Chains A and B, each alone.
Chain A
Amino acid sequence: MKARSDESLDTPMTQMMDIVFLLIIFFVVTASVDKDVVDESINLAQAKSAPAVETVDPRAVTINLTKKGEVNIALRPMSMQALYNFLVNMRTQSGNSMPVLIRCDAKTRYKEIGNVMDTAAKAGLYRVRLVAMLDQ
């Protein structure tokens, strides 16, 4: 009896480490999954002197705009009408001050960006930001 009580006192370290290790891996993996889905095919334009972004409004909607002028949100392709409906929907949920981020390729023509901006303005959203890459 005495021997047994001694035995249970020293913690089985290996198993505990195994479990802690697995838990850490689990949390690290799940933490990075819920980030914004970005279109990696977009090469952002370079900005030399703009300040780096520290905090992003959690309500912000990110619109990806490819070189050819195709619009997608979180890799879901959208037509201008669908984008308009989506933005109106988001505006009713989060209000007028909701920022719209436009991630456009450096080689996108302004014609396409203007279209997206007009759509945002039509939907009543005037806080638009262009996303650029910091030149370091």
Chain B
Amino acid sequence: MKRKKAENLSVQMSSMIDIVFLLLIYFIVTAREEITEAHLSVNLPAPGAAKATENKPKMLEIEVHQGQYRLNGAPLETDVIESMLMGLGRTDPSMTVMVKVAFDAYASELVTALDLCDKAGLTNLNVVSLR
């Protein structure tokens, strides 16, 4: 009885390391970094060329003010803008979209506007500041 107890006390290192090793490999293999970021790509107008692109036909203008969005000048709610953009995105996804942003607008508002365009499939997004 006494002898058996003494035997149990010495930990079996090699088998324990085996198991630890296997567990470690299992966790390394199954751990996959979750993608949590999205990149919203925008085009920048060349410095000084902003004037040339104005008032072209087939151009959509979204104004981002602090707490307000305007589509071609009309103040609208985001869900209205969303449905309109979806319709436009289906007809002409390569349409030029000018996103004009007021200086005091927050980044989150700009991101929301770009995200709506992205959802509608519009790819030609240009960001300019509102003057």
Contact = CB atoms under 8 A, between A and B. Distances in A.
A47 interface: yes
A55 to B, nearest CB: 11
B47 A53 contact: no
Nearest to B120: A49
A61 interface: no
A113 B42 CA distance: 12
Max chain B CB contacts within 10 Å: which of A20, A49, A99, A131? A49
A128 B28 contact: no
Contacts of A111: 103-104
Do most interface residues of chain A lie in helix, strand or loop, or is the interface mixed? mixed
The range of chain B's interface size is: 35 or more
A110 B41 contact: no
A68 interface: no
Contacts of A107: 106-108
Contacts of A48: 115, 119
A51 B39 CA distance: 8
B110 to A, nearest CB: 6
20 contacts: A13-B18, A17-B21, A21-B20, A24-B24, A45-B112, A49-B115, A50-B39, A105-B107, A107-B107, A109-B106, A110-B64, A110-B110, A121-B45, A122-B47, A129-B39, A129-B40, A130-B42, A131-B39, A132-B38, A134-B37
